[in-house]
Amino acid sequence: MTASTPNLPQPTITIVGYGSQGRAHALNLRESGFDVTVGLRPGGPTEAKAKADGFLVKSPAEAVKDADLVAVLTPDMVQKTLYYDVLAPNMKQGAVLLFAHGLNVHFGLIEPREDLDVVLVAPKGPGALVRREYEIGRGVPCIYAVHQDRSGKAEQFALSYAAGLGGARANLIKTTFKEETETDLFGEQAVLCGGASSLVQAGFETLVEAGYQPEIAYYEVLHELKLIVDLFYEGGITRMLEFISETAQYGDYVSGPRVIDAATKARMKDILTDIQDGTFTKNWVAEYEAGLPNYKKFKQADMEHPIEVVGKQLRSKMVWLAENAPKPTSQQAAAA
């Protein structure tokens, strides 16, 4: 399935936002044959970049007026204001409104106009990967969903967009706004970000408090984690077990359940409940509207943790990191 498949629609597209995902989507869709315009605030930090990439750039209000499909690729907490102040008053009747994450729609922060098709397409990878895989003739798997189907063709629009990103070259999985939103939030909080960072910090603290050198602790609980995660990524837990020693395997079997036990899983269920019933989103909206006081405090504490101090010193000697690691802008990171 490609963007040019005869049975799929070929809408004119406006991409609102040009961070990591926005840029990858715009470039891939254009190279798949779509007519793509980029909607950005005049004078904003990404306007020059989008123009340098050869896109027609307009203010969001102007950019969406003639678009068949509008893709909202801005950070979650600005989408409500963007929709009600800019998109809803200017999108044409019967257009398609597309999101890459369902939070605002699923939790009712945005209630789309009745005449719009409302869909979701979410590549399962960061923007840089979405772009790189497309350029070499492959694609990143995408999940897609339909929230509102007024035209009778909403699913076809979602599939066409996903194919244009390169997702159909890999795998397309149908989901719902509810499933995408709740599983995404849970994964971030309980495992990928919150769970992993807290586990690493606790491991570091345990070793240092026992008298071991901070540098050794850093290598053992943070630096080497990448090696394990890469194996997970390549072939699941099975591949990881194939590549670690028998001693490490035995330690996995007998000690892993002592760290992540039934009580941990019960707390994960509490996190999931807070996500499902809207408690997390309610608290996050209140935090954002209050100017992010706790967010800033928590972030500063993480940045000042001793593992970050020693890590910065050790990474300065890892020349391969400076050579290979791109430096995303804050806006790119936010929109990733």
Q: Residue 188, annotated ligand binder?
A: yes
Q: How far is Cα 313 from Cα 213, in angstroms, rounded to an integer?
A: 14
Decide if 35 contacts 66 (C-beta within 8 A): no
Give strand pairing partners of 36. Answer: 13
Q: Residue 224, annotated ligand binder?
A: yes
Q: Residue 12, annotated ligand binder?
A: no
Q: Residue 184, annotated ligand binder?
A: yes
Q: Residue 19, annotated ligand binder?
A: yes
Q: Residue 41, annotated ligand binder?
A: yes
Q: Residue 108, annotated ligand binder?
A: no
Catalytic (active-site) positions = 101
Q: Residue 18, annotated ligand binder?
A: yes
Q: Residue 253, annotated ligand binder?
A: no
Q: Residue 155, annotated ligand binder?
A: no
Binding residue numbers for NADP(+): 18-21, 41, 46, 127
Annotation: binding site for Mg(2+): 184, 188, 220, 224
- Binding-site residue numbers for substrate are 245
Residue positions in the annotated binding site?
A: 18-21, 41, 46, 127, 184, 188, 220, 224, 245
